[in-house]
Chains A and B, each alone.
Chain A
Amino acid sequence: MAPEKICDILKQRFPNAVTAAVLDARRPYATVAAEQWREVATCLRDDPRCAFNMLQCISAIDLLEDNRLAAVYDFFSVPIKGVGPCPRLKHHFAVRVVVDRDNPHIPSVSDIWPAADWHEREAFDMMGIVFDGHPDLTRILCPDDWEGFPLRKDYEFPTEYHGIPATTEHQLTNPRH
C-alpha cells in the first residue's frame, strides 16, 4: 500500500495524533504525538490494511537545532500469520515520535512488538530517551555506571573512566559532534 494511504488511515482514526508527514521523500514517514503513540502503534499492528507485524528498527536521532530528540520506528509487513491479521501486503512504513530534549518521554511499545525491547534500551543508553512502561530500561551497550548519552550532539567526552585516561597524545577528546 502506498505511504499516503497508510497515513490517511492513521489521520482518519486519530485526527490529532498525526502532526506532520513527509510522504514524497526517499523514505516516507509520519510524525506521531507521543501521547497517542501507543494507540497508533496498536492500530498499525492490528488494522488489516496496515498489518505491520514486524518492527525492524528504532533509530534515535538528535534534532539539536530544534532542541528535540526523536525516535524513528521502521515497520515491515511480513506475509505470514503472526500477531494480528495475516497481511499480503509486503509494505514498509516509518513513524517518527518527536519529544522535548529536556523531558524526553515516549511510551514503550515493547508489549506490542517484543522486538522493541532491546531497541528501546539502546535508544535510552545512547540518546537518553526514556520509554515509559518498559520492563527493564537499563543501559545495554555502555557500562551501567557510564555518564551521559554518547550519541547526543552536545555530548562531552569523559577524560577518564575508572582511572583509565581517555585523552590521546594530541589531547583530542571531542570529535566534531
Chain B
Amino acid sequence: MADTLLESQPDLMLDIDKSEQGDVRTEEMLVNMGPQHPATHGVLRVVLRTDGELVLEAVPHIGYLHRCAEKIGENLQPYQYIPYTDRMDYLAGMNNNQAFAIAIERLAGIEVPERAKYIRVIFAELNRIASHLVALGTYGLDMGAFTPFLYMFREREMILDLFESTCGARLTYSYINVGGVHDDFPDRFLDVLEEFLDYFEPKIEEYNQLLSYNHIFVKRTANVGVISPDDAVRWALTGPVLRGSGINWDLRKSTPYEIYDRFDFDIPIGLPGGSERIPRSVVVGDCWNRYFVRLVEMEQSCRIIRQAMKQIPEGKILANKLKNLKLPNDEVYVEIENPRGQLGFYIRGDGSAIPSRVKARGPSFCNISVLNHIGKGCLLADIPAIVGSIDIVMGECDR
C-alpha cells in the first residue's frame, strides 16, 4: 500500500533509497476518531486502520444520535410529526418540513394554495443558503481557516432573523406544515428580503477571495477524496456530492416538485481544473469541487428567490379541510432536494389518522456510507477534509 502511494505521488519519494526501505519496520495501528471529535461534525465515529500516515481502512460507525424518529412517526398524526422532522437535519429544518408535508399531501391528495407554494420555495432556498453557509464555514474551520467561518455565520444570522420574523423560531421551525404554511409574511418582509439579497450576493465573491482560491485551502482539498461519477451513482450519492462528481442531477430540475419548473436557474456541477473559475490542480469529484458546487448553488438560490418574489400572488396560505385528516390505505415515496442531497419519505397509510410506516431516507446516511471506499489509501490528514466535504448532519444520518 505504501508503495502505491509513493508511485502515484513521486514528489513524496524525495531521497528515499529503495534498498534501505526494507529495514524500516512499520506496524499497523487502529485509530479511533470520534465519536466526540471536532472534525466529524457531530457524533460520527470512524475507525481508521493506519500504516504510519497512510489510511488503509476508514470504517464509519453511526447510531450515536438514534432517537427512533421512524417509530415515533408511526405513533403520531402527521401534523404532530412535523417538529420531529426539524430535528433530523437541524441545519435545514424548512426543507425537512417541506419533504414530509409534500409526502403527506400526495398521499392524502391535498391541494396547496399558490401563495403557500411560493412561500415554501422562498424559505426552502433561504434555508439552503443558510445550510451551505454552515457547511462551507465549518469546512474552512476544518482546514485551518478561521476567518471565513465568522464571515459566513454573520450572513447566516441575517437569514435566521428573517425566519424568526416570520415563524418565531431560529433553528427548528416547524413552519411548513401539511397543506401549506402556518403564518403569512410580516409587513415589509419582501423589502427586507430584497435588501438582504442585495447585500448577500456580492459577499459570495468575498468568500472566494477569502477561502476558495486560498493557496493552502486548495492544496488541502484539490485532488483529495476523488469520487468518480461511476462510484457516485453506484453508491447512490446525491446533492452536491453527486454534482461535484460532474453529474447534472438535481431533483428541482430533473423531476420538478412544487413549482420549481417556473424558475430559471442553473445546476452547478464539478468541473476539471483550468476551466473558468477553477484552479488548475483541481479534478472532477474531489473535495474542492464539492465545496465549490455548494458555493455556486448559493448564487443560484438567490436567483430563484428573486424570481419567486416577483411572481408571488396574494391569497390563502393553508388548504381547507385539514381537520380529522385520514390517510388512505396506500403508500407514497417522495424525494426532494435537500441542501445535502435527496431526502426521501416513504409513507404508508392504513385508513386511520396515523401512518402505519414512516421511513426517512436521509442524504447524509447514504453519502457517508462511501467513506471507506474513498478513504482507502489517502493520508490521515485527508480524512477530515473528506468528511467535511461530504457535509453530514448526524441527526439525519441516525434519525
Contact = CB atoms under 8 A, between A and B. Distances in A.
Interface stretch (A32-40, A75-83, A97-105): A75-83
Interface string A136-152: 00011111000000110
Contacts of B333: 27, 57, 59, 72, 74, 94
A92 B344 CA distance: 13
B236 A115 contact: yes
B74 A114 contact: no
A39 to B, nearest CB: 19
Interface stretch (B4-12, B155-163, B247-255, B317-325): B247-255
B356 to A, nearest CB: 8
B229 interface: yes
A56 B344 contact: yes
B40 interface: no
Given A54-B236, A141-B398, A118 B348 contact: no
Contact of A113 (B236, B348, B359, B398): B236
Interface in A58-98: 59-62, 72, 74, 78-83, 90, 92, 94
A6 to B, nearest CB: 16
Interface stretch (B43-51, B126-134, B218-226, B361-369): B361-369
A140 B368 CA distance: 13
B346 A72 contact: yes
A57 B361 contact: yes
Contact of B247 (A80, A94, A117): A80
B331 A78 contact: no
A84 to B, nearest CB: 10
A177 to B, nearest CB: 5
Q: Is the interface of B mostly helix, strand, loop or mixed?
A: mixed
Given A26-B106, A72-B346, A90 B254 contact: yes
Contact of A74 (B66, B255, B344): B344
B357 A82 contact: no
Contact of A57 (B71, B255, B331, B346): B346
Interface residues of A, number: 39
A142 B229 contact: no
A26 B332 contact: yes
Contact of B234 (A90, A92, A113): A113
Interface in B112-163: none
A31 interface: no
B354 interface: yes
Contacts of A92: 255
A90 B251 CA distance: 11
Given A74-B333, A115-B234, 10 more contacts: A26-B106, A27-B333, A59-B357, A61-B348, A81-B230, A82-B233, A115-B235, A115-B236, A142-B63, A175-B71
Interface of B: 62-63, 66, 68, 70-71, 74-75, 106-107, 229-230, 233-236, 247, 249, 254-255, 330-333, 335, 342, 344, 346, 348, 354, 356-357, 359, 361, 365-366, 369, 373, 398-399
21 contacts: A25-B331, A27-B332, A27-B333, A56-B335, A56-B361, A57-B359, A59-B346, A59-B361, A60-B359, A61-B357, A74-B344, A79-B249, A80-B229, A80-B233, A82-B234, A83-B233, A92-B255, A115-B235, A139-B63, A141-B62, A177-B356
